[in-house]
Amino acid sequence: MTERLRCGIVGCGTIAPTHMESLKLQENVEVTWACDLVEEKAKKLAERYGIPHVTTDFHELAGAKDVDVVHVCTDHASHSPITVAALEGGKHVLCEKAFAASTEGLDAMIEAHGRAGGLALGSVFQHRFDAPYRYLKELVDEGVFGTILTACVQVHCRRTNDYYAADAWRGTWAQEGGSVLINQAIHFIDSLVWVMGGVESLAGAWKNLTHGDGIETEDTATAALRFRSGALGTLEATSSSNIGWEATLSIHGSEGAVDLRRGKPLKIKFEDASLQARLEEGFATCEDTQKIEAGKSYYGAGHPSQIADFIAAVREGREPFVTAESARHTVDVVLAVYESSKSGRWVDIA
């Protein structure tokens, strides 16, 4: 018999139904609590999914005896205090991106996890579960690119001033921790950082080019990257584009190159004809097996797989596939861009 797990959702807004639909796919899992500062949001989610308990105080949920796992689906600045409280309450925690909005918040979460002993802590970077990115990671690890020369990510999307005005936390340093980098682009930055095995240092810059007084944070940013592997790269992100949503990840090596756009091969080019054919077939057969009718299209199909892995990690007493330390590194990369832009210098990343 699979151990029954009871979950609580903190934050009943846009992303909560994606977590709920993903949890519905899991055997012997129930959601017992819904929490939101706006009680009506919590009640609405509870009514939709038959959740028995509702609260506006995350401390009540963190201390509830009928909760084993807490899903944190709130604004960035609240991730750290909620996660720390849940860990101190003896709960496993899966936190949405960005893991935290500041270095201090990240430190508090990692330290609380260390004190908790035996509890699972993970952060949602669902694109690590998308079949094309997993296949690309396998190819990098296999060494098919030869010496990797450059690895780059571009994220183009549009966010209007009306979007930022819809919630007080958006476009603020104190609550969002930034803007396009730490919110929209971070998932694809994570894909690049994960595929390449981490970033050693970077030099970056950001600007608010089109949103005026609507936000105090960035709508456009770039950075030059030095990867731990020795390769060089770039990241580019803007929420002022007329394209809508488009993410491109490119890896170019001495033996060949792959560009993925919206998770699909834009270019596969290798001198070895047999390798070219193998990779073309490999990407053609990449298919995400678990899909849900919830969330926005650019979320991809990775949430069900990541949540399934986290539930399995709790039951098996192991670390989740996306560990707290790994998720932290991606946020450290984003925070380093802000720091570098302020100081005008290269920033080393642990």
Residues 164 and 170 sit within 8 Å (Cβ to Cβ): yes
Residue range 125-133: average pLDDT? Answer: 96
Q: Which residues contact 245 (CB under 8 A, 6 or more apart)?
A: 156, 157, 262, 297, 298
Predicted confidence (pLDDT) per residue in 19-51, tens digit = 999 999 999 999 999 999 999 999 999 999 999
Q: What is the percentage of the chain residues whose pLDDT exceeds 70?
A: 95
Predicted confidence (pLDDT) per residue in 197-225, tens digit = 999 999 999 999 999 999 999 999 999 99
- What would the two tokens of residue 314 be? 């709790």
Whether the model clears a pTM of 0.75, i.e. scores above it, the answer is: yes
Residue range 139-161: average pLDDT? Answer: 97
- The confidence score (pLDDT) of residue 289 equals 61
- The confidence score (pLDDT) of residue 244 equals 80
Residue 96 pLDDT greater than 80, yes or no: yes
Predicted confidence (pLDDT) per residue in 258-314, tens digit = 999 999 999 999 999 999 999 999 999 997 665 555 544 444 568 999 999 999 999
Q: What number of CA atoms fall less than 13 Å from residue 165's CA on the CB side? A: 7
Residue 148 pLDDT greater than 50, yes or no: yes
Average pLDDT, the chain: 94
- The confidence score (pLDDT) of residue 295 equals 45
Strands 347-348 and 148-156: unpaired
Residue 1 pLDDT greater than 60, yes or no: no
Predicted confidence (pLDDT) per residue in 44-95, tens digit = 999 999 999 999 999 999 999 999 999 999 999 999 999 999 999 999 999 9
3-state secondary structure the chain: CCCCEEEEEECCCCCHHHHHHHHHCCCCEEEEEEECCCHHHHHHHHHHHCCCEEECCHHHHHHCCCCCEEEECCCHHHHHHHHHHHHHCCCEEEECCCCCCCHHHHHHHHHHHHHHCCCCEEECCHHHHCHHHHHHHHHHHHCCCCCEEEEEEEEECECCHHHHHCCCCCCCCCCCCCCCCCCCCHHHHHHHHHHHCCEEEEEEEEECCCCHHHCCCCCEEEEEEEECCCCEEEEEEECECCCCCEEEEEEEECCEEEEEECCEEEEEEECCHHHHHHHHHHHHCCCCCCCCCCCCHHHCCCHHHHHHHHHHHHHHCCCCCCEHHHHHHHHHHHHHHHHHHHHCCCEECC
- The confidence score (pLDDT) of residue 291 equals 57
- The confidence score (pLDDT) of residue 3 equals 82
Residue range 108-119: average pLDDT? Answer: 96
The backbone torsions φ and ψ at residue 153, rounded to the nearest 5 degrees and listed phi first, read -135, 140
Cα of first residue to Cα of last residue in the chain, in angstroms, is 42
If phi > 0 it is left, if psi is from -120 to 50 it is alpha, else beta; for residue 89 that is alpha
- The confidence score (pLDDT) of residue 350 equals 83
- What would the two tokens of residue 298 be? 């650019």
Strands 199-207 and 92-95: unpaired
Residue range 230-246: average pLDDT? Answer: 95
Farthest-apart Cα atoms in the chain, separation: 61
Q: Name residue 223's beta-bridge partners.
A: 204, 235
- What would the two tokens of residue 339 be? 């720091």
Task: Report all structural domains of the chain as residue ranges with CATH numbers, in order of start.
Answer: 5-123 (3.40.50.720), 127-291+329-348 (3.30.360.10)
